[in-house]
């Protein structure tokens, strides 16, 4: 693999001569597997979870994203197969893509033992001339340091001489298609080969960086940047509620033509918080404190308490107590108009409400009743969830919720109902015209 030229990968048929193993083919690995198979590579998706493995064998994933639907076609065509045997898959592969996610322990410290174990298994079966690409977030210096050492010791081979070593940051667009690839490598030949391979996956930009450590940092910096931007939006939204200002109106003007737009206020996907913890660990190793990033994470977590305060205030204006109320939650999916597992903060809001109110029921049109029950939510069909409710709380802004028949909802609900919308799908003035007490995250525009 390390001796290939551009001409060796310039057609679908030529790429069929090479096999790629995606190790721990999960949330990060599945998009890689799809992209490699789409352009002609033979792909082996390795996963040690029995349930995920069985789904992968059928060309399915438990990750609920439309971007992975192509796997089923590749299974039927024989270009994608699934296995639990890391060594066997590695021994049959020219390219090994390692997508094992780093575990964060109870002390919020990264634990790389699973990644080290995987590297040991890969090393024991590694062929000379292979290319290894790491593709999941790690602390700056981890791949070039401890992971490189494990690979060399277990394989008896030398990096840059017997096999190539690279790291890629694959950035997908909102439709799940490939948008941009950033790649760094241990040396020039590894960078050249990894660049050729990754360019065959996309017509978009491939940015080459001279070393792995910089790309590791880049990935973590991007997620920390997202955390900080989300915190700024959330904090300004909290302020707008008190100032009686509609932050959504302000945001539209700020973001118009702005090259650094602010996100909508709301719940941060704290699964990306592991990147902050990895960065904090490396910062502490060089006696540096990440004050701003740490503060941002605390601000974003305040959305849970802020949402509860909005519910409590709305019920009070309706002349109702929190303890005796029924809350109907609309939408728990991670993203609007998709069927994705809820983020941790959504679960926290539901858990908090269960402790405080009489009844909490959930409705999400993208999940079946059985699926919601398996996620731990009490659910019914829409009319039953709304029946005799005191407050409708909209957590995920599915388009369907923006078309709600508020007159019908009002008839089904208890007298003097409330709507609390933290997803910006309900017009505050329309809600009040239909007799609801309205509250919204950052929308200090209510009159009642």
Q: How many CB atoms lie within 10 A of CB 288?
A: 10
156 shares its domain with 188:
yes
Domain boundary among 210, 236, 263: 210
* pLDDT bracket for residue 177 (50, 70, 90): low
* pLDDT bracket for residue 21 (50, 70, 90): very high
358 shares its domain with 436:
yes
50 shares its domain with 177:
yes
285 shares its domain with 341:
no
Distance of CA 66 to the CA centre of its chain: 14
233 shares its domain with 356:
no
35 shares its domain with 47:
yes
189 CB-side CA count, 13 A: 14
* Structural contact between residues 279 and 108, judged by C-beta atoms closer than 8 angstroms: no
Tokens at 406, concatenated: 């508020």
- Strand-pair category, 42-46 with 95-98: unpaired
Number of domains the chain contains: 3
The whole-number pLDDT of residue 278 equals 95
Q: Which of 440, 446, 447 is nearest to 265 (CA)?
A: 440
Q: Which residue, chain included where needed, has tokens 């007159």?
A: 407
176 shares its domain with 306:
no
Average pLDDT of span 323-332:
97
Cα distance between residue 182 and residue 195, in whole Å: 9
Identify the domain containing residue 172 by its residue range. Answer: 6-210
The whole-number pLDDT of residue 173 equals 56
Residue 359 Cα distances to 393, 418, 435, angstroms: 13, 15, 22
Domain boundary among 151, 185, 210: 210
Domain boundary among 300, 332, 360: 300
* Structural contact between residues 435 and 392, judged by C-beta atoms closer than 8 angstroms: no
**Does the residue 373 lie in any domain?**
yes
For 116-144, how does the pLDDT look when each residue is reduced to its tens digit (9 = 90+)? 999 999 999 999 999 999 999 999 999 99
**Does the residue 376 lie in any domain?**
yes
141 shares its domain with 240:
no
**Does the residue 124 lie in any domain?**
yes
Write down the mean pLDDT value for the chain: 93
DSSP category for residue 444: T
**Does the residue 445 lie in any domain?**
no
Helices marked H in 104-167: 113-125, 148-155
pLDDT at 349 over 50: yes
**Does the residue 142 lie in any domain?**
yes
**Does the residue 108 lie in any domain?**
yes
382 shares its domain with 315:
yes
Tokens at 429, concatenated: 């003035």
Spell 113-144 as b/e; 16+ CB within 10 A means b. Answer: eebbebbebbbebbbeebbbbbbbbbbbbbbb
- With both helix axes pointing from N to C terminus, report the angle between 212-243 and 247-255 in degrees, rounded to the nearest 10: 140
Tokens at 237, concatenated: 């939204």
The whole-number pLDDT of residue 68 equals 54
* pLDDT bracket for residue 174 (50, 70, 90): very low
Q: Which of 331, 319, 305, 290 is nearest to 426 (CA)?
A: 331
**Does the residue 1 lie in any domain?**
no
For 202-248, how does the pLDDT look when each residue is reduced to its tens digit (9 = 90+)? 888 899 998 999 999 999 999 899 999 999 999 999 999 999 999 99
The whole-number pLDDT of residue 19 equals 98
- Extended beta strands in 65-163, E state: 80-83, 95-98, 103-104, 110-111, 131-134
Q: Which of 100, 77, 137 is nearest to 21 (CA)?
A: 100
At 286 the three-state DSSP class reads coil
Tokens at 377, concatenated: 């939510």
Q: Give every CB contact of residue 324 below 8 A, 6+ residues apart in sequence.
A: 357, 358
Proportion of the chain above pLDDT 90, given as a percent: 85
Tokens at 267, concatenated: 């719940």
319 shares its domain with 416:
yes
Q: Which of 21, 219, 230 is nearest to 102 (CA)?
A: 219
Considering only the C-alpha atoms of the chain, give the largest distance between any 2 of them, rounded to a whole number of Å.
75
- Extended beta strands in 173-248, E state: 178-185, 205-209
* Structural contact between residues 301 and 267, judged by C-beta atoms closer than 8 angstroms: no
205 shares its domain with 339:
no
What's the length of the chain? Answer: 448
DSSP of 3-38:
T--GGGGSSHHHHTT-EEEEET-STTHHHHHHHHHH
Q: Which of 314, 325, 310 is nearest to 395 (CA)?
A: 310
**Does the residue 332 lie in any domain?**
yes
Q: Which residue, chain included where needed, has tokens 């360019």?
A: 199
* pLDDT bracket for residue 271 (50, 70, 90): confident
CATH of the domain at 44: 3.40.50.720
46 shares its domain with 171:
yes
Strand partners, 419: 392, 438
Q: How many CB atoms lie within 10 A of CB 77?
A: 10
Cα distance between residue 234 and residue 365, in whole Å: 27
């Amino acid at each position: 693999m390390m001796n290939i030229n551009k001409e060796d990968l310039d057609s679908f048929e030529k790429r069929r001569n090479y096999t790629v193993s995606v190790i721990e083919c999960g949330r990060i690995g599945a998009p890689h597997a799809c992209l490699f198979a789409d352009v002609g590579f033979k792909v082996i998706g390795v996963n040690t979870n029995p349930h995920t493995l069985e789904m992968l064998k059928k060309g399915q994933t438990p990750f609920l994203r439309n971007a992975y639907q192509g796997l089923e076609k590749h299974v039927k065509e024989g270009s994608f197969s699934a296995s639990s045997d890391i060594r066997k898959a590695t021994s049959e592969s020219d390219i090994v893509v390692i997508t094992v996610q780093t575990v964060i322990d109870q002390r919020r410290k990264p634990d790389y033992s699973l990644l080290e174990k995987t590297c040991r298994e890969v090393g024991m079966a590694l062929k000379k001339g292979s290319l290894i690409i790491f593709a999941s977030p790690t602390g700056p210096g981890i791949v070039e340091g401890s992971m490189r050492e494990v690979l060399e010791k277990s394989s008896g081979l030398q990096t840059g001489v017997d096999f190539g070593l690279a790291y890629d940051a694959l950035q997908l667009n909102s439709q799940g298609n490939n948008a941009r690839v950033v790649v760094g490598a241990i040396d020039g030949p590894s960078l050249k080969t990894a660049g050729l391979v990754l360019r065959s996956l996309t017509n978009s930009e491939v940015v080459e960086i001279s070393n792995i450590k910089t790309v590791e940092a880049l990935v973590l910096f991007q997620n920390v940047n997202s955390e900080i931007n989300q915190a700024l939006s959330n904090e300004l939204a909290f302020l707008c509620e008190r100032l009686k200002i509609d932050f959504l109106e302000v945001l539209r003007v700020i973001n118009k033509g702005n090259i650094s737009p602010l996100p909508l206020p709301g719940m941060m996907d704290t699964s990306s918080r592991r990147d902050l913890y990895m960065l904090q660990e490396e910062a502490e190793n060089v006696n540096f404190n990440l004050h701003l990033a740490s503060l941002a994470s605390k601000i974003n977590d305040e959305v849970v308490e802020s949402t509860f305060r909005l519910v409590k205030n709305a019920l009070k204006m309706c002349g109702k107590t929190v303890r005796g109320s029924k809350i109907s939650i609309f939408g728990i999916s991670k993203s609007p108009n998709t069927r994705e597992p809820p983020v941790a903060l959504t679960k926290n809001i539901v858990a908090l409400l269960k402790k405080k109110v009489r009844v909490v029921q959930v409705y999400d049109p993208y999940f079946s009743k059985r699926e919601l029950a398996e996620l731990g939510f009490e659910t019914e069909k829409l009319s039953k969830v709304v029946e005799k409710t005191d407050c409708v709380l909209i957590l995920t802004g599915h388009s369907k919720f923006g078309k709600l028949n508020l007159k019908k909802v009002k008839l089904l609900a208890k007298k003097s109902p409330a709507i609390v919308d933290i997803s910006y799908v309900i017009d505050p003035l329309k809600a009040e015209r239909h007799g609801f007490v309205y509250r919204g995250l950052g929308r200090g525009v209510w009159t009642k």
